[in-house]
Copies of this chain bind each other. A is one copy, B any other.
Amino acid sequence: MPGPIDRIPNLLARIRRAVRRPEPEALPTELREQRPEDVADALERMTKDEALESLSQMEPDMAAEVLVELSDDTAKTLVADLPDPTVAYYLDVLPMDDALDLAEDMDPERLESLLMVVPDEDAAEIRRLMRFPKGSVGRVMTERFFEVGPETTVEEILLDLRLAPEEKYETVNDVYVLDGERRLLGLFSLRRALRAEPRTQASQLLRADFESAQADEPEEAAARRMARYGFYALPILDGEGRMIGIFTGDDAQEILRDAESKDVLALGAVSGGVESYLSLSVWNLVKRRAPWLMILFVAESMTGVVLRHYGQQQANEKVTRLLLLMPFVPLIIGAGGNAGSQVTTTITRALAVNEVSTGDWFTVVRRELATSILIGALLGVIGLLRAVYVWGGAPQVGLVVGISLPCVVLWAAVVGSVLPLGAKRVGIDPAVMSAPFITTLVDATGLVIFFEVARAMFGGSLA
């Protein structure tokens, strides 16, 4: 069934048409019913000049919202060419976390000069948050949480909610109770407050069994924790244990989505960030793929070394047995590679979503070995039958295939399970143990197994 993405080509055409019309209201009218996420997707499909022209014709508030929904690469390019007053206006009207997103896409010097013209309070907040390192949860938190003292009453809470300017709090689902030193005593839901008597004090409502995060904790770890326990927001503390902000669910979701994409791409041996596909230039696509491909290519040369090694022992002779075995080479390394891919994909996924930890390594390896013995035996029987009955090979060749297949599959399972677990253990992202990487590793070693089984079977000679 068609999803929102399938409406984008149509929306793109309508935006292009509206931009060309002479009436200044043509584009704002066209976009009145549209969501910024969709308009951003349409802009991703435009040239830079088209996108700039479209942005300039939109209502400024819509343009600001569209800009933050664009991929970072596209936003960066466009912001660089937008006039200063426009960008300053965007920084001003956007919610603080979106403004920060935009600020990150800018040249630091330009940002400094722009911060001169946005309201002081906003500029100070942007500066404060940008001091936290990229990728830390402090960088993506908001300072605009709903805080009260332990003696604040429900009546006062509701009055504050009614009278405070709307942008003072990013979300009011949870009320945070802080003591005089800004230490978090506990929190309660607004709903709970609404069900209490007006004179009830915050200290009577709060639950003290909350989870929190340090501002310098990696954003992905904090986001995973939120998702695991189903929280909508996580209080953020500084080094002295004072509460300085909250990390909200929508930001956590975005971070997890990007982390997933990175993991998936890494599993397919594509390195780099999580820029949207269409926003990447061909040159960028090459840069994300060529390094791994070349590493794998060099590693794969090992198979050639192995083949040459076994081939040269028969130099200048009739190499009938070797030639009989050759057609099975891709079959053997293919089966090893595919089995290894399955194992490494399963393990890295289980590690990524915290189904297993490195402490479970013994259980994992034991299960993978048991699984591979069954699968390997199955493939061995099929391989043997195929070699002998379909291709009419000698029974000995069939036996070589039938014996080496389970060995290669078992070996692939060891490599495919131990490497991601070992990587995680020493602090490397296990997703870099990509399926192609495991496949390539297993290729050459699998061939050695195959030829050694053959040599044993043929009494020491492949000639």
Contact = CB atoms under 8 A, between A and B. Distances in A.
Interface of A: 1, 3-6, 8-9, 33, 35, 37, 45, 158, 161-162, 166, 172-173, 190-191, 194-195, 209, 217-218, 221, 224-225, 227-230, 232, 249-250, 253, 257, 260-261, 263-265, 267-270, 276-278, 282-283, 285-286, 289-290, 292-294, 296-298, 300-301, 303-305, 307-308, 311, 318-319, 323, 326-331, 333-335, 337-339, 341-342, 344-347, 349-350, 353-360, 363-364, 367, 370-371, 374-375, 378-379, 382-383, 386, 391, 435-436, 439-440, 443-444, 447
6 contacts: A6-B357, A9-B357, A267-B345, A282-B371, A285-B367, A319-B319
Contacts of A283: 374
A341 B285 CA distance: 14
Nearest to A32: B209
B338 A4 contact: no
A217 B278 CA distance: 28
A439 B269 CA distance: 13
A345 B253 contact: no
A293 B375 contact: yes
Given A6-B359, A161-B191, A297-B335, 14 more contacts: A37-B229, A161-B194, A267-B268, A268-B341, A268-B346, A277-B347, A278-B350, A278-B356, A282-B371, A293-B375, A297-B334, A304-B391, A435-B435, A439-B439
A323 to B, nearest CB: 6
